Structure 1
Amino acid sequence: MPLMLKPGTAWSDAYGRCADLAPEAFNDDRVLNHWGGIWHRDGRTTPAVTPVDGTTIAGPPRLDRSAAARAVHAAVDEHRRWRHTPVAERAARVSAALDAMEAHRDLLSLLLVWEIGKPWKLATADVDRCIEGVRWYVDEIARMTDGRVPLAGPVSNIASWNYPMSVLMHAMLVQVLAGNGAIAKTPTDGGLSCLTLATALAVREGLPLTLVSGSGSELSRVLVRGQEIGCVSFVGGRDTGGQVATSLADLGRRHILEQEGLNCWGVWEYSDWATLTGQIRKTYDYAKQRCTAYPRFVVQRSAFDHFLAAYLPAVQGVRFGHPLAVESADDPLPELDFGPLINNAKVKDLADQVDEAISKGGVPLFRGALDDGRFLPGQDISAYMAPVAILTPPRSSPLFHAEPFGPVDTVVLVDTEAELLAAMNASNGALVATISCDDTRTATRLASEVRAFKVGHNTPRSRGDREELFGGFGGSWRGAFVGGELLVRAVTQGPADERLPGNFGNQTLLPA
């Protein structure tokens, strides 16, 4: 039976609901920027299409540098007023904003499906993690800010498109909870309408949020080097993160720069292959478009036959396709591992890397086909990519040393512990890693030499929520670590001689 779009879930349905719910932020023909406590019909709108099926969707209203500077000055004024708001009132207002977001959770989730291609289950999880995570901070904020004061200026947030709610909006709400104004640049590749709706619900409760759109090259000087910015929080790739770090080098400004690393899963003296099969399947969530995805497996050569027998059923079981396609109107939305990649340009770039790696000696272990996906009849599928696995990618390939940010695995075989560690540290620092090993003492010893902030033993690691700390080593992180109390400490001032835990290039201070 041919698939159909679930009734009531079309982009036009989602946008119409936004315009009805928040007409101050959504006009019939465009989305607005928010700064100075007012929604502004400014900026140059640019066309956008969803990666889901090529449908035209709302594009970002891009400000130029001078307009962004006015928005930042207005945010500074808001910050200076807000920082004197009692903590109990801040908590009450943030709680009211969370109540509103929870009431419209399904609409926020549907926007994420259309804008960044998340399957329904993962989209709702993104929204839920934001709401539930910030509620935990509401309960803890009085204790966490005792003896501390807000920063001198607002926090400027520049984040990638993959987690608009659970990373970007979560961070902004904690920042205002701690007494700061918060500025965010809408990710260029997606999340505009979801973030705009969440911002609209929050500013109705009096929260000092600024949301603007524009190109990074145009706005960087204002959002990164602006004289009155109190802290820069960045989530994204190493190239852009390196540019931000360079811009901040002579300012001595508080910063949190989360960058990518090649997260590796090592397999050494291991025998629980059935468990590993289930874990490998989960690594394909959202097509590995996550900062904590595992695209590299480093495997003991003598165990490769067992690994392959565990790996192939996992990758063959992956389900992908149109996140809103159903067989009949009453069917629930499908449970998929992933939908499209963020755009068709990313698919082409990654496919070229795969072809080059194989042409230069990489061995194709698995190549899925788009025919295995769930699609609507005749829909645009140019942003979709089936899973691929390559054994021993050549060192000249980007797939050898960098995160692919797509459904591509690479497998490297090793014979000694020294080779295992060298392969797992190929990118000079990572956010997470895992070692599958039967012996706990051996796993602990190996983990101590892996340059990743979190190393799991027989289990994957993630960014974490609530009290769980997060950071990175080497090139994967610059600045203060976050998570739990560290996130609040990173965006508040403590004693004059305080040293924040973090990775600051020439020194790394670990939390107690």
Structure 2
Amino acid sequence: MIVKPGTEWESVFARCRSVAPEAFESDRLLNFWGGRWRQEGVPTETTSPLDGTVLIGPPRLGLADAKRAVRASLNEHRTWCAASLAERKRRVLAALDELAEHRDLLALLLVWEIGKTWRSAKADVDRCLDGVRWYAEEIDDMLIDRRPLPGPVSNIASWNYPMSVLMHAVLVQALAGNAAIAKAPTDGGVNCLTLATALVARHGLPVTLVSGSGAELSEALVTSPMIGCLSFVGGRSSGGEVAARLVDSGKQHILEQEGLNCWGVWEFSDWPLLARHVRASFEYGKQRCTAYPRYVVQRSLFDDFLAAYLPAVRELTFGHPLAVADPADPLPELDFGPLINDVKVKELRDTVDDAIGRGAVPLFRGSLEESRFLPGQDTAAYLAPVSLLNPPPSSPLHHAEPFGPVDTVVLVDTEAELLAAMNASNGSLVASLACDDETTARRLAAYLQAFKVGVNRPRSRGDRAEYFGGRGASWRGAFVGGELLVHAVTEGEGPVYGHFPTSTRYPPT
């Protein structure tokens, strides 16, 4: 196996420097604010989860420079919000055309930086481009009786979807009349975001890209009175800290947090259908906010469930996403590649071992030995699939999302037990029920603490007009998707849909 010629990191980074020399220097990246690329910030290095290759990391700013960047963004915001919608659309569409021209390079950066497969990386870029184009076509009606915020939108997002979540949000916020600040995730994706920002900034869009410690920069990016709205995507612990800083501020906010998304199996018989969904659920190693890491199964169906589940996980393919046997070979079609880093792998292995030690039963443990790797490569960031039966209540796997290729199965005997087990995390983003009778499924779905519930199919974040949010502790602030995303980053008459400290308002679903 070799890395396919032309996809080596040296080649990819050289292409970035050729396409956007203003943003990429030979040994560092630059931050961007006030319409200029800047050397402020301490250069860092990081390693690729693919094979340990050393990459250029985020240039970390201190608080003083971050405050300067926010002030510059506010100045841009005051000019941009006065621009006509036609002018905003013209500039955003021109930026999308340039992003599309460099789509494959953006996707290769996602492969190297955060371990996406080639298929998944291309999909991430395409979802951003297609989604923003849809908003450019539909936004006129969404902005009736709405106006931009008094200040820019601050975006702090996790590393797993730099384009389809973070850059998508930034561009829609610009369409709605706001300047947008993006904080580059610390764990990965900064090179992709730097290239995307460079391409977008050429068309006069009011974007800011900064890097640094979330804790150190929070005074500038979270609580600053210059910020008009905070959009956050991340875990519950960090999200809770962010929410605590926003208490009593009155600042508009969107805080998407994790939850344990469950797939319930009750009075069900279409096992080939479930097997297909099981395999598909491992896309990107389940490093998604809408992944399904928990199956809650009717005890009397457990043997049939295993007969469908185990062959599906045995067929999973994973390994180095750019490894080929011959230079002319296409990039491999894999279910997933590495996790974000070796620290996450060790954390999950320790959690699995601890759960087994406390009584969980291992149903399946895969191996790295037969996967696609380069000769002698570093595989520390790779984790083979694992499935456990009945994790004990003392284990994090009982109530929290593992964010990796680790499934847990819980057996139940009654509908009440099914619902209690599926609601173990006090709220989630999505859930699904495998059930032959749709009437029964819909009745049970009404009691699930999930924003979206699928019947015999998964639910996802969704695109375009589809709403997205969470119930319970999985979400705080305004919901998004379709016109809700635009309403969340504008002002107008009436409350927005969302989950707030004193009230919750759900859209029709």
Task: Pick the TM interval, shorter chain.
Answer: over 0.9
Give the unaligned 5+ runs of structure 1.
none
Q: Write the distance in 2 (CA, Å) between the matches of 1:80 and 1:240.
A: 31
Contact 2:48 2:115 in 1 (8 A): yes
Q: In the alignment, which residue of structure 1 is the partner of 2:504?
A: 508
Q: In the alignment, which residue of structure 1 is the partner of 2:96?
A: 98
Instruction: After TM superposition, give the deviation of residue 40 of structure 1 in Å.
Output: 0.2
Instruction: After TM superposition, give the deviation of residue 102 of structure 1 in Å.
Output: 0.5
Query: Which of the residues 263, 267, 270 maps onto 2:268?
Result: 270
Instruction: After TM superposition, give the deviation of residue 215 of structure 1 in Å.
Output: 0.4
**What is the correspondence of 1:10-21 to structure 2 with a 5 Å cutoff?**
10-21=8-19
Q: In the alignment, which residue of structure 2 is the partner of 1:365?
A: 363
Code of the residue aligned with 1:222 in structure 2: it is A
Secondary structure of the residue aligned to 1:340 is coil
Q: Write the distance in 1 (CA, Å) between the matches of 2:158 and 2:420.
A: 29
Q: In the alignment, which residue of structure 1 is the partner of 2:70?
A: 72
Identical pairs, percent: 67
Code of the residue aligned with 1:508 in structure 2: it is T
Q: Write the distance in 2 (CA, Å) between the matches of 1:85 and 1:33.
A: 25
Query: Which of the residues 2, 5, 9 maps onto 2:3?
Result: 5
**What is the correspondence of 1:149-228 to structure 2 with a 5 Å cutoff?**
149-228=147-226
Q: Write the distance in 1 (CA, Å) between the matches of 2:392 and 2:372.
A: 33
Q: Write the distance in 1 (CA, Å) between the matches of 2:418 and 2:203.
A: 52
Instruction: After TM superposition, give the deviation of residue 372 of structure 1 in Å.
Output: 2.5
Secondary structure of the residue aligned to 1:336 is coil
RMSD over aligned CA atoms reads: 0.6
Q: In the alignment, which residue of structure 1 is the partner of 2:130?
A: 132
After superposition, give the CA deviation of every residue in 1:48-76 in whole Å (9 maximum; x if it has no partner).
01000000001100000001000000000
**What is the correspondence of 1:290-301 to structure 2 with a 5 Å cutoff?**
290-301=288-299
**What is the correspondence of 1:243-262 to structure 2 with a 5 Å cutoff?**
243-262=241-260
Instruction: After TM superposition, give the deviation of residue 147 of structure 1 in Å.
Output: 1.7
Q: In the alignment, which residue of structure 2 is the partner of 1:376?
A: 374
After superposition, give the CA deviation of every residue in 1:150-191 in whole Å (9 maximum; x if it has no partner).
000000000000000000000000000000000010000000
Q: In the alignment, which residue of structure 2 is the partner of 1:107?
A: 105
Q: Write the distance in 1 (CA, Å) between the matches of 2:501 and 2:356.
A: 36
Code of the residue aligned with 1:504 in structure 2: it is F
Code of the residue aligned with 1:194 in structure 2: it is C
Contact 2:257 2:475 in 1 (8 A): yes
Q: Write the distance in 1 (CA, Å) between the matches of 2:68 and 2:390.
A: 52
**What is the correspondence of 1:86-485 to structure 2 with a 5 Å cutoff?**
86-485=84-483
Q: Write the distance in 1 (CA, Å) between the matches of 2:378 and 2:217.
A: 33
Q: Write the distance in 1 (CA, Å) between the matches of 2:112 and 2:475.
A: 30
Contact 2:124 2:164 in 1 (8 A): yes
TM-score norm. by structure 2 comes to: 0.99
Q: Write the distance in 2 (CA, Å) between the matches of 1:353 and 1:444.
A: 34
Instruction: After TM superposition, give the deviation of residue 373 of structure 1 in Å.
Output: 1.5
Runs of 4+ in structure 1 deviating by more than 2 angstroms, as ranges, are none
Secondary structure of the residue aligned to 2:94 is helix
Q: Write the distance in 2 (CA, Å) between the matches of 1:505 and 1:11.
A: 46
Instruction: After TM superposition, give the deviation of residue 411 of structure 1 in Å.
Output: 0.2
Code of the residue aligned with 1:510 in structure 2: it is Y
TM-score norm. by structure 1 comes to: 0.99
Q: Write the distance in 2 (CA, Å) between the matches of 1:143 and 1:327.
A: 52
Instruction: After TM superposition, give the deviation of residue 142 of structure 1 in Å.
Output: 1.5
Instruction: After TM superposition, give the deviation of residue 214 of structure 1 in Å.
Output: 0.2
Q: In the alignment, which residue of structure 2 is the partner of 1:46?
A: 44
Q: Write the distance in 1 (CA, Å) between the matches of 2:356 and 2:502.
A: 38
Query: Which of the residues 469, 488, 491 maps onto 1:490?
Result: 488
Code of the residue aligned with 2:498 in structure 1: it is G
After superposition, give the CA deviation of every residue in 1:184-219 in whole Å (9 maximum; x if it has no partner).
100000000100100000000000000000001100
Instruction: After TM superposition, give the deviation of residue 146 of structure 1 in Å.
Output: 1.9
Q: Write the distance in 2 (CA, Å) between the matches of 1:407 and 1:384.
A: 10
Q: Write the distance in 2 (CA, Å) between the matches of 1:219 and 1:464.
A: 31
Contact 2:364 2:387 in 1 (8 A): yes
Q: Write the distance in 2 (CA, Å) between the matches of 1:71 and 1:412.
A: 49
Q: Write the distance in 1 (CA, Å) between the matches of 2:259 and 2:290.
A: 9
After superposition, give the CA deviation of every residue in 1:444-495 in whole Å (9 maximum; x if it has no partner).
0000000000000000000000000000000000000000000000001112
Instruction: After TM superposition, give the deviation of residue 511 of structure 1 in Å.
Output: 1.2
Q: In the alignment, which residue of structure 1 is the partner of 2:58?
A: 60
Secondary structure of the residue aligned to 2:89 is helix
Give the unaligned 5+ runs of structure 2.
none
Instruction: After TM superposition, give the deviation of residue 315 of structure 1 in Å.
Output: 0.4
Instruction: After TM superposition, give the deviation of residue 42 of structure 1 in Å.
Output: 1.2
Secondary structure of the residue aligned to 2:369 is helix
